[in-house]
Amino acid sequence: MTTDILVIGSGISGLTYAIKIAEQHPDLQLILIAKDELRETNTRYAQGGIAVVSDFKQDSFEKHIQDTLIAGDGLCDSEVVKFVIEEGQERLRELQDWGTLFDTQQKELHLTKEGGHSEKRIVHYKDQTGLQIQEALIKKIQSFSNVRCLENHVLVDLITDHHTKTNHQKCYGAYVISKEKEEILTIGSKATILSTGGAGQLYNHTTNPYGATGDGLGAAYRARVKIEGLPYVQFHPTALVPKVNGSTFLISEAVRGEGAVLRNKKGTAFMASYDSRKDLAPRDVVARAIAQEMTATDAAFVHLDCQCIEKEKFQQHFPTIYDTCHHLEINVPKEPIPIAPAAHYFCGGIAVNAQSRSQLDGLYAIGECSYTGLHGANRLASNSLLESLVFAHRAALDSSTFVTTEALEDDFYEALPEWEGNPEVSVEKMKQMTVLKNRLRKVMTQYAGIFKADDDLNKAEQKLSAIYLETLELYQKLKLTPQFCELRNMVSVAYILIKQSQHIKTNQGTFYNADNA
């Protein structure tokens, strides 16, 4: 199969990019790969919203810039922060033009607040912002005849000189595997766009869906593309305890934005003793404070006291949270919600420039799998959907020129080699993959969570090396499957995260090593 542009990932980044190309370049052909159904993405689960300055009487670009820099704790690229924030409004308008709804009040956008924001500036649709965006973008993308969507296909590897035995130093597309038939397709493409999200599945407790196994990061690593900032993993302070249908359910930070207060086992509102911004301090501060309180009181959770929010308002703004809690017989807002931190967002990723280009020609990365410099050491709440919109736009401008001016001749992409793999299938050995995935999650949760230490990082490295060797042995013998691809990626991402962590000697934002303190 060949195409002009291959997009891997169907969340807000991939779909926004694809819509822009399809609309503005009807002459270009685009293939969009979704790991599951088009709608099953990380975007879909985003509750909070998009941080965009829109009330210029009260708010300003400068205030949003400052809040982002403060949350990022010295590691943001200030130029990137500036242009992302200044371009936000225009990108939001496009999203609305494509049919996305946001809550309004007296005909103005309703704005809410989250941790680290000095003003109310989060636009949202109830507590279902991501779902609303996902549905609108899917409807839009399906209206174009130059876009072909392949659902239920998993990225295997990027196609590079390693496969073609050439030396053009470009990306030529990707190998992907179908979940149904487990067949590996070769897709030749002049530009390849990774929008594959993060890797929350490296941890036992994550707000991310099952598909968040770092597929783009793993493939980029194997293609020797630069990856930066992986140790900066953001833990969301408030994930519901217990799990819901086996998954960790998010309690949006906007609930604290509307006044809810964290209390420990003894009923004490503890945040004032950690930070003057109390419950609305940036996420890294709040997550660490909760973890400390849990240890100090020997508890598996703390409470989110929502009593100050009127029932009707709660139901209207947070219908999903309301229903989920009531289903578990937690009578919100009257009764407090048991919560604990959970892995939520990878601030690091594939290093890209202001046009979303990676260091490998023809390869772009957008959204959580990328490292743009916006988030630094700790992402400001609701800045991620904003980043996706801005960088999807910039990538579309740059890559549409790339495919016509910098790519190779068509026949090169038509003659790419097929994937060479092993034919052996062993159900018994396949079962080992689940065991290895679970072992990896246990190692990362125990040794590379919110609090790290030198010894723990070394233990993690040793245990990951053993998991890597066992994975390699299976890989050298067995037929590749989608589950296998995930395991390979999880091992790669965990390994880079640990190796990069061992080199960090300053605690900033989400990264905290007790031996650096």
486 binds ligand SIN (CB under 6 A): no
290 binds ligand SIN (CB under 6 A): no
Question: What is the smallest separation between the CB atom of 127 and ligand SIN, expressed in angstroms?
Answer: 7
Active site residues: 283
Contact pattern from residue 59 through residue 88 relative to ligand SIN, giving x for each residue in contact according to CB under 6 A and a dash for the rest = ------------------------------
Binding segment (CB under 6 A) for ligand SIN, from list 88-96, 140-148, 252-260, 417-425: 252-260
253 binds ligand SIN (CB under 6 A): yes
Which of 64/163 has CB closer to ligand SIN?
64
Q: Where are the alpha helices (DSSP H) in 272-355?
A: 283-296, 311-317, 319-327
Q: How many CB atoms lie within 10 A of CB 17?
A: 30
Side-by-side strand order, sheet with 233-240: 233-240, 337-346, 302-305, 261-263
What is the phi/psi pair of residue 511, to 5°? -90, 120
- Rounded to whole angstroms, how far apart are CA atoms 116 and 167? 47
47 binds ligand SIN (CB under 6 A): yes
Q: Where are the alpha helices (DSSP H) in 297-343?
A: 311-317, 319-327
For residue 276, what are the contacts with CB-CB under 8 A and spacing of at least 6?
A: none
Return the H-helix or E-strand segment holding 487. Answer: helix 482-503
Question: What is the smallest separation between the CB atom of 384 and ligand SIN, expressed in angstroms?
Answer: 5
Q: Note the Cα 131 to chain centre separation in Å.
A: 15
Size of the site for ligand SIN (CB under 6 A): 9
User: Looking at this protein, which amino acid is placed at residue 173?
Assistant: G
Beta-bridge mates of residue 108: 105
487 binds ligand SIN (CB under 6 A): no
284 binds ligand SIN (CB under 6 A): no
Q: Counting beta carbons within 10 angstroms of the beta carbon of residue 353, is it exposed (0 to 12), middle (13 to 18) or buried (19 or more)?
A: middle
Return the H-helix or E-strand segment holding 446. Answer: helix 427-447
Beta carbons of 464 and 517 less than 8 angstroms apart: no
Question: What is the smallest separation between the CB atom of 254 and ligand SIN, expressed in angstroms?
Answer: 6
Which of 122/395 has CB closer to ligand SIN?
122
Binding segment (CB under 6 A) for ligand SIN, from list 1-9, 148-156, 249-257, 433-441: 249-257
254 binds ligand SIN (CB under 6 A): yes
Which of 22/347 has CB closer to ligand SIN?
347
User: Which residue do the tokens 């989250």 mark?
Assistant: 114
48 binds ligand SIN (CB under 6 A): yes
Which of 209/482 has CB closer to ligand SIN?
209
Question: What is the smallest separation between the CB atom of 112 and ligand SIN, expressed in angstroms?
Answer: 10
Among 358, 382, 388, 471, binds ligand SIN (CB under 6 A): 382
Beta-bridge mates of residue 358: none
Among 171, 381, 392, 436, binds ligand SIN (CB under 6 A): 381
Which of 46/289 has CB closer to ligand SIN?
46
In the complex, residue closest to ligand SIN by CB: 48
Question: What is the smallest separation between the CB atom of 167 and ligand SIN, expressed in angstroms?
Answer: 42
The Cα-based distances of 145 to 22, 72, 150 in angstroms read 8, 41, 14
Q: How many CB atoms lie within 10 A of CB 54?
A: 16
Beta carbons of 102 and 124 less than 8 angstroms apart: yes
Binding segment (CB under 6 A) for ligand SIN, from list 44-52, 161-169, 174-182, 467-475: 44-52
Question: What is the smallest separation between the CB atom of 442 and ligand SIN, expressed in angstroms?
Answer: 25
252 binds ligand SIN (CB under 6 A): yes
Question: Where are any strands of DSSP class E within 108-232?
Answer: 108-109, 111-112, 122-123, 147-150, 153-158, 173-178, 184-194, 227-228
Which of 3/252 has CB closer to ligand SIN?
252
User: Which residue do the tokens 């703004």 mark?
Assistant: 317
Q: Note the Cα 375 to chain centre separation in Å.
A: 12
Question: What is the smallest separation between the CB atom of 381 and ligand SIN, expressed in angstroms?
Answer: 4
Contact pattern from residue 323 through residue 352 relative to ligand SIN, giving x for each residue in contact according to CB under 6 A and a dash for the rest = ------------------------------
Binding segment (CB under 6 A) for ligand SIN, from list 190-198, 347-355, 377-385, 464-472: 377-385
- Rounded to whole angstroms, how far apart are CA atoms 366 and 429? 35
Beta carbons of 75 and 508 less than 8 angstroms apart: yes
User: Which residue do the tokens 């002459």 mark?
Assistant: 27
Which of 46/280 has CB closer to ligand SIN?
46
Which of 282/449 has CB closer to ligand SIN?
282
Structure tokens at 307: 């009593």
Contact pattern from residue 388 through residue 417 relative to ligand SIN, giving x for each residue in contact according to CB under 6 A and a dash for the rest = ------------------------------
In degrees, to the nearest 5, what angle opens at C-alpha 17 toward C-alphas 14 and 21?
Answer: 135
Question: What is the smallest separation between the CB atom of 131 and ligand SIN, expressed in angstroms?
Answer: 12
Contact residues: ligand SIN, CB under 6 A = 46-48, 252-254, 381-382, 384
